[in-house]
Amino acid sequence: MAQRNSFYITTAISYPNGAPHIGHAYEAIATDALARFQRLDGRDVFFLTGTDEHGLKMIQTAQREGMTPAELAARNAGRFRDMDDRFGISYNRFIRTSEEQHHASVQEVWKRMQANGDIYLDSYSGWYSVRDEAYYAEDETVVGEDQVRRGPQGTPVEWVEEKSYFFKLSAYQDKLLKLYEEQPDFIGPDARRNEVISFVKGGLKDLSVSRTTFDWGVKVPGDPEHVMYVWVDALTNYITGVGFPDESDKNWHYWPADVHVIGKDIIRFHAVYWPAFLMSAGIPVQKRVYAHGFLFNKGEKMSKSVGNIVDPFNLADQYGVDQVRYFFLREVPFGSDGSYNHEAIVNRINADLANDLGNLAQRSLTMVAKQCDGKVPGHGAFSETDSTILAMADGMIGQARTAMASQQIHQALNAVWAVVAEANRYFAGEAPWALAKTDPARQKTVLYVTAEVLRQIAILAQPAIPTAAAKLLDILGIAEDQRNFAALPTRIVPGTPLPAPAPIFPRYVEPATA
């Protein structure tokens, strides 16, 4: 079967019960890098992100803040959108689950699951965590020294008894195991896949999927006393985002999603519940779920009570957007947990960006401006060192494609920065500044090769650092339509006039203390 050219990628939709934190920014940045990569590689990309606005958590926060859940959601959804815009997140749609179309979408999924015999009314009693929006079995909870009973994620649980609709999740155990077996790429990374498989093998209980104690949510069709469990509602955003329930929508062809990018804490919802709901509703299941790790501030979990929640807007102001994007994407192997602190960020900015990439561009292009008439120089025959560095540059795209196909963003960047490092060695070794007098023809060849390698680096750096890479491509005189991966095999054209080389990455300098 020919590979389809479309590519549908999503983030989780965030709870807008507070302001966005750096974990949210991290997920958006990584998903954006993956989306931009596929666009540059010629795919027709649809990138969905948004906010998950229903549920008890929203009601409780709204009460505390003296507003309605709708007002709280509207205010904070705006903040999430601002964060996306601040970080250059190239989403195609920002979905809010309070939208009318989404209500219709979730109700249609419900009706289809019901028509398939998977929904029944019963009564529920169990331990419910508002924070996790999840029920736990008695043996999954423990009573702490503070006499508070908590669930497996450490959040308080309360005893809840009510009439509830159930989804026959138990009927999907074998079908899910078959899915994981037949599609080995369904869950990544592997550690998560194993975790999910052993959870499903352990047996699945039917899932309580409605509540009657509040009404901020999607109403159950035909029984408006009940609102749907927030996860049925939330997961459905991924199909609403591309037009559901209108299957004649211009975007519906994007479904099934190529990859849902999420954090490791919500893998069960995405790799167990969501495919079961879709199978029940007779809708194709997504192709893959990829769970990234958690970010910790100096190794500590972020929490409001510790007071170490980092505001992503502040980080952007302090270090710069591309700098923050680059730091997280390069520093944290995508799929593992990561820790960040000021020194680590400054080190990446100054070593990788300002010195290795920025200085090389600045030094070589200043020489071109002064000694080659401000035009891309012509070149003579290539030496072995020229051919070696050019071959290494030509090899980046293959490595990056392989890495990005399995969301190994850090590996794609490692491949690019290995060439950055090698280009620096090449430049230092060839010493073109000394060649100006002794062998001007050779100097031109070295500057040509350096510019060509920088061109390929800049093209491949675009998914991670879009603004700085665009600046670099500007000063290399590369036309807008020559910045995609299809243009990689072309060579930079001798004689192209270049604008004056402006610096791309300033060094991070500690602000003077008063």
The least CB distance from residue 325 to ligand ME8, in Å, is 15
Contacting residue, 7, 14, 189, 477, with ligand ME8 by CB under 6 A: 14
> What is the bridge-based pairing of β-strands 142-143 and 149-150?
antiparallel
Query: Which stretch, 20-28, 40-48, 110-118, 192-200, contacts ligand ME8 (CB under 6 A)?
Result: 20-28
Q: Does 72 bind ligand ME8 (CB under 6 A)?
A: no
Q: Rule CB under 6 A: which of 286-345 touch ligand ME8?
A: 294-295, 302
Amino acid making up residue 405: A
Single residue of 13, 435, 457, 464 touching ligand ME8 by CB under 6 A? 13
Q: Give DSSP secondary structure letters for 248-297.
A: TSTTGGGPSPSEEEEEGGGHHIIIIIHHHHHHHHT-PPPS-EEEE--EEE
Q: Are strands 187-188 and 289-292 parallel, antiparallel or unpaired?
A: parallel
Determine the size of the site formed for ligand ME8 (CB under 6 A).
Answer: 19
Residue 122: closest CA among 168, 170, 56, 55? 168
From CA 470, how far away is CA 320, in angstroms rounded? Answer: 15
Round to whole Å and give the CA distance between 107 and 104. 5
501 touches ligand ME8 by CB under 6 A: no
The nearest distance, CB 394 to ligand ME8, in angstroms, is 35
The nearer residue to ligand ME8, 41 or 132, going by C-beta atoms, is 132
**What is the amino acid identity at position 230?**
V
Give the nearer residue to ligand ME8 in terms of CB position, either 210 or 237.
Answer: 237
Kindly write down the DSSP assignment for every residue of 335-403, as one continuous string.
TB-EEE-HHHHHHHIIIIIIIIIIIHHHHHHHHHHHHSTTBPPP--S--HHHHHHHHHHHHHHHHHHHH
Residue 48 binds ligand ME8 (CB under 6 A): no
Q: Letter for the amino acid at 139?
A: D
Q: How far apart are CA 197 and CA 193, in angstroms?
A: 6
Do strands 295-297 and 289-292 pair parallel, antiparallel, or not at all (unpaired)? Answer: unpaired
Considering only residues 235 to 294 of the shown chain, the ones binding ligand ME8 according to CB under 6 A are 235, 237, 262-263, 265-266, 294
Least Å distance, CB 50 to ligand ME8, is: 9
Q: How many CB atoms lie within 10 A of CB 442?
A: 17
Among 7, 8, 9, 15, binds ligand ME8 (CB under 6 A): 15
Beta carbon nearer to ligand ME8, 292 or 483? 292
Which lies closer to ligand ME8 via its Cβ, residue 13 or residue 279?
13
23 is an interface residue for ligand ME8 by CB under 6 A: yes
Helices and strands in the chain, H and E counts: 19, 17
Report the nearest approach of ligand ME8 to the CB of residue 64 (Å): 17
Query: Judged by CB under 6 A, does residue 234 bind ligand ME8?
Result: yes
CB of 178 to ligand ME8, least distance (A): 24
26 binds ligand ME8 (CB under 6 A): yes
Give the count of beta carbons closer than 10 Å to the beta carbon of residue 316: 19
Nearer to ligand ME8 by Cβ, of 294 and 433: the residue is 294
Residue pair 256/269 in contact (Cβ under 8 Å)? The answer is: no
Of residues 89-128, those binding ligand ME8 (CB under 6 A): none
Residue 488 makes contact with ligand ME8 by CB under 6 A: no
Question: Binding of ligand ME8 at residue 24 (CB under 6 A)?
Answer: yes
List residues near ligand ME8 by CB under 6 A. Answer: 12-15, 23-24, 26-27, 52, 234-235, 237, 262-263, 265-266, 294-295, 302
